[in-house]
Each structure stands twice: as C-alpha cells, then as structure tokens.
Amino acid sequence: MKVGFIGLGAMGSAMASNLLKAGHSVTVWNRSPEATAPLASLGAKVASTPQRAAQGEALFSMLSNDQAVREVVLDSGLLEEMDKGTVHVNHATVSVALARELASAHAQRGLDYVAAPVFGRPDVAAAGRLNIVVAGKPAVLERVRPLLEAMGSAIWPMGEEAERANVVKIAGNFMLGAAIESMAEASALTRAHGVSAGDFLHVMTSTLFAAPPYQGYAKLIAEQRFKPAGFALPLGYKDINLALSAADATRVPLPFASVLRDSLLETLALGDEDVDWSALAMVAARRAGLKD
C-alpha cells in the first residue's frame, strides 16, 4: 500500500523501515531532514512538507509530545490538505485532552483517525514487535490493520473514542514508573539491612517479577548505571504529568502518581536531566542517607 510517515526519531524510523520491509510504498517527512536518509536508502520517498507525506491509504505520525503534535498536525494546516481517503494513524503518547481535540478536529473535516500509541523501546520497534493499542472506528481499523501488523506483534483495540487508547498508554507508563519506584524504595530498605540492590533485585526479577521491564530497570538500579538514559528522566516526568492531567479531568485521585511526581521532581532537582528515570533509586537511597 501507499502510505506516509512523519516523525522519524528512533521509534518512527524503526517503524517506517518495517513498513518498507513489508513492501509498502512509504513517503517520509521529518522536521530535521537528516533523519530521512537511512529510510531513503531503504526505498522511501522523501517529502519536503508533512502535507506531501499525507497521501495514500494512511498517514502515520510518531511525534514526540503534545507540542510537536499540535504544531505539525493541528497548526500547520495539514488536516486541511489531507485527502478524505487517507487514514491518520497517530502513534504519539499524547494527553487525553489533546486526544479528544485531535479526534474532534479530524471528525470535523471528515477525516478518519486512529489513535495508536505503542508500548516498546526502539529495539522492539526495530524487531517489528511493538504492542500497539488502538482506538477508532472498527472499519477504519480493519483497513490499517495489515499496516499495523507490519510494525507490531499485537494490536489491542480499545473501542472507538481515541482517548481510550491514549489513556491506556498513559496508565501503562504510570505502572512502569510505579514499578521502578517500588524497586527503588525496596532496594533502599534491603541495602540498609546489608543486602545489596543487586542481590535483592536479582531474586525478585528471577522469581515474582520475571518481566522484562522489571529486569531491565533492576539491572540499571543494581549497577547504578543511569547514563546513558534508556528513557530519560524528563520524559518520565512528562508521562506522570500526563497521568495526573487525565486524573484531574476525570477526578481520579492517584496517590502513587503524586508520590512519583514528587520523587521525579526531586531527582530533577539534583540537576542532571540526562539520567534514566530509574535514577529514582538514587533519590530513594539519598533520602535514607545511604552512600553510593
């Protein structure tokens, strides 16, 4: 099929390349054009504006946050120039508020819209093994399903309203943050009793918590290796604030998210933004007066 793809960070590039490998014709665009070269070498056409990429069966976008989506999708005039036959599949992790605004903006212009946030790091994206949470009209979802299947190992439909997919992504990221904080606090406790974070977390992630995210973050905490960041602290802070905003709009108290917010803020106040969000463990240890 003929599709467009805008937003070629580590995630978007990996995803677009899987579309190419699956034999689709992909036109790509990125704000900084350097990122288009590797995809061009795989056969992608390069567009000079997002509008020119918005053609064919579907336009995929993988932009980094609310602001980027607002600028590229809503404020640029992109929707005005899109063909009514092109489905916009938005993979970005955006706020519930923007999810609603996007759904409404597409509907007003008679455009089909699918919210499709993903779980998975760039290596998972490269392997075509993302978990893609989707929301949109069932018939529209069916049209883009083969394309999504080129990028992900599982597609999780959550209903029609776009925000449903986005809130699942937001709530999932909150659960990840909570898992990290629980390891941070628990290992501060064992360290204070003479058991290293490595010994403790090895037991836990070999037994009850033998799941990849626990195992990955446990390794970083045990080794106190917070750089380079796999998932940078400011992004984690942004995600927890997305959860708190969604909670605010629907009046859902989230005491764990409030603790996470304060702990991430304290970690940020240490002055180093380039750390992984598992640096929460540094703060938990510091509060207990533990030396590195």
Active site (catalytic) residues: 169
Instruction: Map residues 259-288 to x or -, x wherever contact with a copy of itself holds by CB under 8 A.
Output: x-xxx-xx-xxxx------------x--xx
Instruction: Map residues 49-78 to x or -, x wherever contact with a copy of itself holds by CB under 8 A.
Output: ------------------------------
Gap between the Cα atoms of 126 and 39, Å rounded: 13
Nearer to a copy of itself, 171 or 235 (CB): 171
Sheet containing 118-119: order of strands: 118-119, 130-134, 152-157
Give 209-256 as a DSSP string: T-SHHHHHHHHHHHHT---S-SSBHHHHHHHHHHHHHHHHHHT---HH
Select the residue interacting with a copy of itself from 41, 108, 289, 292 (CB under 8 A). 289
When asked if residue 41 is in the footprint of a copy of itself (CB under 8 A), the reply is no
- Interface region with a copy of itself, contact rule CB under 8 A, candidates 15-23, 44-52, 220-228, 245-253: 245-253
Whether residue 99 contacts residue 115, with contact meaning beta carbons closer than 8 Å, is answered with yes
Instruction: Map residues 167-186 to x or -, x wherever contact with a copy of itself holds by CB under 8 A.
Output: xx-xxx-xxx-xx-xxx-xx
Q: Which of residues 205-244 bind a copy of itself (CB under 8 A)?
A: 206-214, 241, 243
Where are the alpha helices (H) located in the chain, listed in sequence order? 10-21, 37-41, 50-53, 66-69, 78-81, 96-108, 122-126, 138-151, 162-192, 197-206, 212-223, 233-250, 255-269, 280-287
Select the residue interacting with a copy of itself from 141, 257, 275, 279 (CB under 8 A). 257
Q: How far is the CB of 157 from a copy of itself (least distance, A)?
A: 9
Nearer to a copy of itself, 55 or 263 (CB): 263
What is the three-class DSSP state of 100? Answer: helix
Q: Which of residues 108-137 bind a copy of itself (CB under 8 A)?
A: 119, 131, 133
Nearer to a copy of itself, 23 or 289 (CB): 289
Q: How far is the CB of 173 from a copy of itself (least distance, A)?
A: 9
Give residue 281's Cα distance to chain centre: 22
Specify the DSSP class assigned to residue 189.
Answer: H
Q: How far is CA 162 from CA 1, 90, 231, 241, in A?
A: 24, 10, 25, 19
Q: How far is the CB of 285 from a copy of itself (least distance, A)?
A: 9
**Locus of tokens 């946030």:** 117
Q: How far is the CB of 70 from a copy of itself (least distance, A)?
A: 18
Q: How far is the CB of 69 from a copy of itself (least distance, A)?
A: 19
What is the three-class DSSP state of 86? Answer: coil
Q: How far is the CB of 266 from a copy of itself (least distance, A)?
A: 5
Give residue 57's Cα distance to chain centre: 24
